[in-house]
Structure 1
Amino acid sequence: MAETAALQLESNVRFHAKAAAVSNITEDHLDRFLKMETYIAAKCKIFENQTSLDVAVLNYDDPIVRNLACRTSAHVLFFSRKQEVPEGVFYREPDLIYRLDGLERVLCKASEIRIPGLHNLENAMLCALMGLSQGVPQKAVREALMEFPGVEHRIEFVCEKKGIRYINDSKGTNPDSTIKAIAAMQRPTVLILGGYDKHNEFDLLFSKIIDSVVHSVVLLGQTAPKLLLAAKRAGFDSVEVCESGDFEDAIKMASKLARTGENVLLSPACASWDMFRNFEERGAVFKRIVCAYEE
């Protein structure tokens, strides 16, 4: 099992995936690829050496990803949380259904999946389909869906201090990831945004923030000025800029804006390279700082 980025795939010559999956494609890494068309082409190199004996798992609900079916020689299986698919995994309330060769089997109830958020329902369907397509027994797939607690740095609950819940989503390195993290929040939330500039746009992000549980945003890092302009264009006024540029200061600002019963969410919508070696280091520092707060 390997997670491969477009930055790795663009130079692919021999990599051959027996089962390859694409969950979604949204604007990212335009500092490298300049155009979305080039970025998509790099993503598609995951299919480069596949044959009809291999499997491609695609998100039917994402039009860009759905249309990649014509760019692979592999047998295509779809997953969808919005509609039934001819072959693959889909959501039919209240269950996840696996359909293949005209037969349907219930995998589990959607409510039994531990990881939060609609995007994680899609991730669960993708993983289930990858496993099932490679002969993993349905019972094992079901158990994994019901028991998997999530991964570090992706909507990870860290601690609760003085009634405020701190959530580490340092893996949110582009606007779409942060939009999904916000959608998973069930309490009023203060959001920490900003980091290295990958030449992404943030207008869609702030249009989603306005209609979400986020009531305040703290900005820092290289993209802070760009994020502030996007907030102003969207008419979102509850924005604080961490003038010092210090990560710990930004967390303190967010903590002061949050009230008992609320969240502080680190989901920067940007890479970490202006301040940290990687998103893992950024997440680890966030966790260390908030865990040291007084109860």
Structure 2
Amino acid sequence: MILKEFYKNKKVLVMGLGICGGGAAVASWFSKNGAKVTVADLKSKRQLSESMMKLKGLPIKFIFGKHKRRDFVGYDLVVQNPAVPNDSKFLKIARSSGAQIENEATLFFKLHNPKKIIAVTGTRGKSTVSTLIQKILCQKYKNILLAGNIAKLPMLEAVEKINKNEMVILELSSWHLERLQASRVSPFLAVITNLMPDHLNRYSTLNRYYQAKKNIMQYQDSSDFAILNKDCALLANLEKKYDSKKIWFSKNKMIQDGIYFHNGNFFWQQNKKSSKIVSIKVLRLKGSHNIENAMAALAVAKILNLNNSQIARGLKSFSGLGGRLEVVQKENGITFVNDTTSTTPEAAIAALKTFPPKRVILIAGGSDKKLKFQNLAYEIKKSCKRVILFKGEGSIKIRKSLLRVGYKRIIGNVATMRRALSYARQAAVEGDIVLLSPACASFGLFANEFDRGRQFKKILTRK
């Protein structure tokens, strides 16, 4: 651990201000702790005006619109934000001139005790699992903060709200974890919800993406815990890899050490002794995938010795996050559901399986992450009476996959959310579900996936 005073008078470059708030939080924290801060971003001042407002009045230098070699020389530290690829030539320039390269997560691990960090990653479910863990642990501990990729609380802001002996929950993306290995540090308690194909627009191979996720366990020792999904083939073979104690969860089989689901109940098994924790009836989340999410959170609770009553209260207190199978409105017997955080085919498949077949009008598509859509096409054919696709390369691939399986009820090349909802209303009748579950990234038509969801909700709820 290091003290935050270490950064006083250090020359810090924040590479990537962004529009989601993370870059602004990093720049603000360093400036308020006495560092000499510069922010560089390829976007224009106008595009970043909202983020800049968060830094108003702070002595920060801004470089917008273009990167030049001289702008990356002479720093003690460069903070790499998520949109910046590891092979950026400007990171190499900064490193060769003596700068240390960090990201928000590696900084947090240096500023807080890793033995007090619960970290959650995975392709799907990490936000839900992180929040479930917080809801459950709050039944025993007073000050449990959740920070990181979930975007509600930036990590460096969390540093100011806790002391070094308080537990904190971090939701970590593969981008955060890329640099954790270089820092040779891991959390006391690591959770991997699952591994599925994703982000091939960033990673050259799936193995590189999966390895970034596994970095969360790389430097755990025998006193640490790794909570892993036994039903995920890519995780099930990690029993003897890494030094941490493995705690498994499964909805399909009995587990020797961990959590399993049987006959509508969650069970905890340790040392060949099995005990019921709670019934699924206390879980308010829809979808079989949320059984897995609940089990991951229950495993954390059991490791930290919460009793079953505390666990039940925590589960009951959580009805889900926005943008994840979120029922926005019921209108003339038609249900409108916001699942904007569905950015992969597997996520959209899971969403479709929660609704009756042939009653879904699906709004999907967007930009391409180099993923395959054939399995989604088969599920759409079983589940959907109509598909409405946004403009985008991902949408083109979805359409081709649908045509291959003989599905033709497609409206394509839709440029706005308003137009998409107009088409959906025309197709829907009483008892139908209009589901926004894009299976693609949002870049191009929307600022990000959350902007996509906000537009969906705003149009529906505007009086």
Same fold judged by TM-score > 0.5? yes
Pick aligned residue for 1:226 from 393, 397, 400: 397
2:269 match: secondary structure: strand
Q: Which residue of 2 aligns with 1:251?
A: 421
Deviation readout 1:90-141 (Å, 9 max, x if unpaired): 0110211111223222111123311000000110011111222123333211
Compute the displacement of 1:275 (Å): 2.1
Q: Which residue of 2 aligns with 1:217?
A: 387
Pick aligned residue for 2:228 from 58, 75, 88: 58
Higher Rg: 2
Matched, 1:189 2:360: yes
| Structure 1 residues without counterparts, runs of 5 or longer | none
Q: Which residue of 2 aligns with 1:105?
A: 275
Q: Which residue of 2 aligns with 1:22?
A: 192
Letter of the 1:285 counterpart: Q
Compute the displacement of 1:14 (Å): 4.4
Q: Which residue of 2 aligns with 1:200?
A: 371
Matched, 1:93 2:263: yes
Q: Which residue of 2 aligns with 1:117?
A: 287
Compute the displacement of 1:40 (Å): 1.0
Matched, 1:152 2:285: no
2:266 match: secondary structure: strand
Q: Which residue of 2 aligns with 1:8?
A: 176
Question: Separation in 1 of the partners of 2:423 and 2:263?
Answer: 41
Q: When the two structures are superposed, what TM-score results if normalisation uses the length of structure 2?
A: 0.61
Question: Separation in 1 of the partners of 2:367 and 2:303?
Answer: 38
Compute the displacement of 1:197 (Å): 1.2
Q: Which residue of 2 aligns with 1:287?
A: 457
Pick aligned residue for 1:261 from 431, 436, 443: 431
Q: For the Cα contact (< 8 Å) 1:163–1:262, is it kept in 2?
A: yes
Q: Which residue of 2 aligns with 1:241?
A: 412
Identity %: 29
Q: For the Cα contact (< 8 Å) 2:190–2:225, is it kept in 1?
A: yes
Question: Separation in 2 of the partners of 1:239 and 1:290?
Answer: 22
1:106 match: secondary structure: strand
1:71 match: secondary structure: coil
Question: Separation in 2 of the partners of 1:260 and 1:14?
Answer: 56
Q: Which residue of 2 aligns with 1:278?
A: 448
Letter of the 2:408 counterpart: D
1:35-46 superposed matches below 5 A: 35-46=205-216
Question: Separation in 1 of the partners of 2:311 and 2:273?
Answer: 17
Question: Separation in 2 of the partners of 1:233 and 1:168?
Answer: 28
Compute the displacement of 1:219 (Å): 0.4
| Structure 2 residues without counterparts, runs of 5 or longer | 1-168
Q: Which residue of 1 aligns with 2:309?
A: 139
Compute the displacement of 1:254 (Å): 1.4
Q: When the two structures are superposed, what TM-score results if normalisation uses the length of structure 1?
A: 0.94
1:65 match: secondary structure: helix
Q: For the Cα contact (< 8 Å) 1:44–1:71, is it kept in 2?
A: no
Letter of the 1:46 counterpart: I
Q: For the Cα contact (< 8 Å) 1:194–1:224, is it kept in 2?
A: yes
Instruction: Quickly say closer, same or farther: Cα 1:100–1:93, change in 2 above 3 A.
Output: same
Compute the displacement of 1:292 (Å): 2.6
Question: Separation in 2 of the partners of 1:263 and 1:134?
Answer: 40
1:53 match: secondary structure: coil
Pick aligned residue for 2:300 from 130, 134, 137: 130
Question: Separation in 2 of the partners of 1:15 and 1:196?
Answer: 34
Q: For the Cα contact (< 8 Å) 1:242–1:249, is it kept in 2?
A: no
Deviation readout 1:151-177 (Å, 9 max, x if unpaired): 111000111112111000001011111
Q: For the Cα contact (< 8 Å) 1:108–1:142, is it kept in 2?
A: yes
Q: Using CA pairs under 8 Å that are at least 6 residues apart, name the structure with larger relative contact order, 1 or 2.
A: 1
Q: Which residue of 2 aligns with 1:175?
A: 345
Deviation readout 1:248-291 (Å, 9 max, x if unpaired): 11121112111111110000001112222221121111101111
Pick aligned residue for 1:34 from 201, 204, 211: 204
